[in-house]
Each structure stands twice: as C-alpha cells, then as structure tokens.
Amino acid sequence: MNYRRKIIAGNWKMHKTASESKTLVQDILTELKDWNDGDVVLCVPFTSLAIAGSILESQTIVELGAQNLHQAPQGAFTGEISAGMLRDLFVRYVIIGHSERRQYFRETNALINQKIKTAITSTLKPIVCYGETLQEREGNQWRSVLETQIKEGLANFTEAEMETVTLAYEPVWAIGTSKTASPAQAQEAHAFSRSILNQLFGKTVAEKTRIQYGGSVKPDNAQELLQQEDIDGALVGGASLEARSFATLVKKGCQPLS
Ligand code: 13P
C-alpha cells in the first residue's frame, strides 16, 4: 500500500436537475455518515452547484466539484462559467479535459493546459483527465498518447503548482461501456503515467500526485482496481448517480483486500 489518501469523485455529467440533486446529495451524506477514510467529491452540473454547495458547506465528508470552467477570469464569453463564479459557490475541485469535452467540444491539450492554470491560480483543485481511444489501445499507441496528453496538459507548471493537481486516467473505450480496464492494465497505465510525472517534475511530485482510474468503475470492481499500487482513487460516472451504489463503491474502494 502507498501512503496517498484515496480520492473518489462522482462525475454526474449532464444528469440531475437542481431539485433531484438536492435529494441525491442529502442521500449520499446519509449513506456516508461519519466517513473519513478517503476524500469524496461530487462533481455536479453547473445548475446544481448552488443547492449542493448550500448543503455541503456545513460538513467535511463530501466536497463539491464542477465539471468544467472557462480559462478567462471574466469577459464576453456567452454561456461560459469562470473560476471565480465556481469559488463563490463553495466549489473546491474542477474536472478538466474529460474525454467527452475533448471529443465533442474540441478541447485540445493547449486549451486544457490554460484551464488547469486558471484553476490553480483561483485555488480550485483540478482533476485532469486523459486516456486513449480503443483504436489507440489496439494499435499499441497508448503510451505515446498518454505521454503527449500529460506533457502538453501539464506544460510549464512548477512543483508547487502541482500540489493540488489530481490526474484521472480514463481509457475512452471503458467509459460508459461496462468494459473496465483490467486491474493489471489500469495499473500498467498508472505506473507509466507516474513515470512521466517523474520525468517532468521529479520524484517528490511523482510520488505525491494522486491518479484516479475512471471507466465503468462499479461497487463490485472498485476494490480490486483501487488496490493497485498506483491507483489512488476513482472518477465515477454511472455508478455515482445512485446514493447507495456510490457509497458502497466509496467504502469498498478505500478498503484493503483481505
Ligand atoms: P462511467 O463510470 O459511467 O463509465 O463514466 C466514467 C467517466 O467518464 C467519469 O468521468
């Protein structure tokens, strides 16, 4: 076991209205009463941040996250949301560079790099997603794809800036497909990612940075995945939309295999 504290985040994507979110946040808090064996983050839609923030602000078990932000501090960017707007609603984390944003909204590594910079300067903790497609996995190109995404996404940051960054390895072929990477496949990609961090920032950052796995993580596979040496948590889509299933996943994921 390594000493990194586990971090499990729910990515609700475009699910749940504000009133549905209120119920789900309350139910998750009830299920996770007195929980303290790992960090838990809920990345809810923008329209649910205010209600979720008002519930979460008075406790320390679950923290609030957003799913995206704009890189500029403010300005004429119709429909966009700034880091300051998120901070004001008790948001602590923000997902950046999710494969759905890369694929459907044409986000590039350079843009993702700017967004990470904005998050860090605004004291939001970025959860930086990266991962290969099925074609890239089958063509045995996954190492070079991950290396480029990590190097370009994290270009020009200092060791100090890396302190609040969490990475999330999400193989695109495992997202929403029920095809999970095997624990050995995921571990191999995580260890490789950590070696890139070592090249970029040195040993201390490489050993401290938490790397989540994402892609069809469920209550029944969380423990084996999160038991791997270089897997420090999970970024969970579908299984985070139901309180009991998410809480079970959190508890199992943070429990050593006996
Ligand atoms: P699923 O857990 O639904 O596969 O989604 C993973 C994901 O994209 C989390 O960001």
**144-166 pLDDT tens trace:** 999 999 999 999 999 999 999 99
Whether this model's pTM surpasses 0.75: yes
63 carries an active-site annotation: no
The CATH superfamily assigned to 7-253 is: Aldolase class I (3.20.20.70)
The string of pLDDT tens digits covering residues 169-207 is: 999 999 988 888 999 999 999 999 999 999 999 999 999
Supply the pLDDT for residue 258: 61
**Cα–Cα distance between 136 and 97 in angstroms, integer?**
18
Supply the pLDDT for residue 176: 87
Bridge partners of 40, per DSSP, are 8, 62
Ligand 1 centroid, distance to 216 Cα (angstroms): 6
DSSP H helix total and E strand total for the chain = 11, 8
11 ligand 1 Cβ < 6 A: yes
Write out the DSSP string of 178-226.
Answer: S-PPPHHHHHHHHHHHHHHHHHHH-HHHHHH-EEEEESS--TTTHHHHH
| Triad 238, 241, 244: Cα angle to 5° | 110
Ligand 1 centroid, distance to 236 Cα (angstroms): 5
CB-CB contact of 241 with 25 (8 Å): no
Write out residues in the chain with pLDDT < 70, as ranges: 1, 257-258
Give the number of the atom of ligand 1 that is nearest the alpha carbon of residue 239. 2
* For ligand 1, atom 5: residue with the closest CA: 237
